[in-house]
Every structure is written in structure tokens, then in C-alpha cells.
């Protein structure tokens, strides 16, 4: 079972490993939401189907925080909060190349190719594209790599992966977007580190922070992030 990072009567947040599947797909592998439903059914002795709403997604090779709703009220409110950008989403990314600036907000137009399951990035709007923006900050460096903190301002398909690749900084291990080698665990070095939001029901400030992934080279950068 995935590690629980936060849990109350309305929401639950878990630690998604890079090998975990967020939701069921054509692979047939057991998805994370199935595991959580089983955990909730056993813990609270719930008969029948357990309600669990998916409010956002992480690509399979990405690790970090996954947030789920335990009630329909929380689900509808969280969906609206994500849509209206009321939830602060902070990611960490390890890249090979130093970005053009140490801190910048970048805006592009993204268009998903369904057949390739890949997003293409344009400087100007093209037919079928959607505007996307993020802010990155250079937070650390090692002998070979750089650590970027990324605040996501929109939630497009493969957004961070595609936009960082566009500025010459493909994420470590991300073959799809131009990194030359895969990571040993098959994941990529993109990590959903922190979520900050007002609780959809309790109306209290909530901050959820995930511990660094094990292995890879994350340990080199542990002192770079508070």
C-alpha cells in the first residue's frame, strides 16, 4: 500500500512511486486508486463500493503527492479549485543543462498528439493548442545536474516535461522529451513535492509535503530544498 501523507474524512493524499499507475489503463496493472479503496474499506470496515474521486493526475514515471477526494462534496470543490488555480503545486525536476535564467516564468502553447501520447510546444498559438505557463527556479547543482523547483500555473498534458525540454532542459530519464538515457528504475526525475490549498470542507490551510524519492541522485540535492 502507498504511504499515506494526509488523511481525514474528506480527502486523502498518498505518496506515488514512479512505478505506480495512478488510474487503470490498457496495461491492466493494478492502479493506485484501487489500492486506496481497498485500504479505506478495510480500515473503516465499509461494506460495498468505497467512494474515491481522482482530482488530479501524475504521469506514470513521475513520483510524489497524489490527492484524492473521499466524498462527493470534496471532489466537486477540489475539481473547481484545480480548475481556477486555487491549489499551489510545486514540483522538483533534475535536468542536465543549466536553464537560460536562474528564475523565470515561461509561457507556451501546447498541443497533444493523441497517437504518440506526446505534447508539442509552440511559441505562438496554433490550431488546437492551449496556453500553459510555469515558473521555475534554480535551487541547486551537482557535478553533472541541476535541480529546478517548478510552480505549475496550469495543468496541461506533460506540461513540465514538454516546457522544460523546449528551453533546452529535458528532465533526467525522460526519453520521450529528449533526454538521452533512461533512469534505472524506468521513472523520470520529476517529483510532485508540495501541495498548498484551503481545505474544501474545513476551510483550513493545508500544506502537504512529500519526502524525497529514494535512490537516483535526489539525496545530492536534499540540502537545496527547505
Residue from 20, 25, 33, 59 carrying the catalytic annotation? 59
Verify whether residue 123 is a known catalytic residue: no
Read out DSSP for the chain?
-PPEEEE-SSEEEEEE-TT-BSS--TT-PPBHHHHHHHHHHHHTT--SPPP-EE-----TT-EEEEEEESSHHHHHHHHHHHHTT-SEEEEEEEESSPPSSSEEEEEEEEEEETTTTEEEEESS--TT-EEEEEEEEEEEE-SS-EEEEEEESS--TTHHHHHHHHTT-PBTT-GGGT-SS--TTS--SEEEEEEEEE-TTT--EEEEEPPPPSSTTGGGGGGG--
Residue 50 vs residues 5, 22, 23, 58, 204: alpha-carbon distances, Å? 19, 17, 15, 22, 25
Residues 6+ apart with CB under 8 A from 163: 106, 108, 110, 121, 132, 134
User: Which residues have a catalytic role annotated?
Assistant: 59
Amino acid at each position: 500500500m502507498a504511504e499515506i501523507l494526509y488523511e481525514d474524512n474528506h480527502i486523502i493524499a498518498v505518496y506515488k512511486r514512479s512505478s505506480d499507475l495512478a488510474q487503470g489503463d490498457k496495461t491492466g496493472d493494478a492502479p493506485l486508486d484501487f489500492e486506496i479503496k481497498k485500504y479505506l474499506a478495510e480500515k473503516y470496515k465499509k461494506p460495498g463500493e468505497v467512494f474515491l474521486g481522482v482530482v488530479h493526475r501524475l504521469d506514470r514515471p513521475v513520483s510524489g503527492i497524489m490527492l484524492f477526494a473521499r466524498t462527493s462534496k470534496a471532489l466537486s470543490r477540489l475539481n473547481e479549485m484545480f480548475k481556477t488555480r486555487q491549489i499551489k503545486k510545486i514540483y522538483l525536476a533534475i535536468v542536465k543543462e543549466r536553464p537560460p535564467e536562474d528564475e523565470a516564468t515561461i509561457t507556451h502553447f501546447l498541443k497533444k498528439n493523441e497517437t504518440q501520447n506526446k505534447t508539442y510546444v509552440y511559441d505562438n498559438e496554433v490550431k488546437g493548442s492551449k496556453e500553459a505557463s510555469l515558473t521555475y527556479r534554480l535551487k541547486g547543482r551537482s557535478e553533472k545536474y541541476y535541480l529546478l523547483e517548478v510552480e505549475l500555473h496550469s495543468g496541461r498534458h506533460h506540461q513540465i516535461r514538454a516546457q522544460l525540454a523546449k528551453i533546452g532542459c529535458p528532465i533526467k530519464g525522460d526519453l520521450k522529451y529528449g533526454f538521452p538515457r533512461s533512469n534505472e528504475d524506468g521513472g523520470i526525475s520529476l517529483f510532485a513535492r508540495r501541495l498548498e490549498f484551503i481545505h474544501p470542507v474545513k476551510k483550513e490551510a493545508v500544506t502537504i509535503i512529500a519526502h524525497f524519492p529514494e535512490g537516483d541522485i535526489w539525496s545530492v540535492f536534499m540540502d537545496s530544498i527547505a
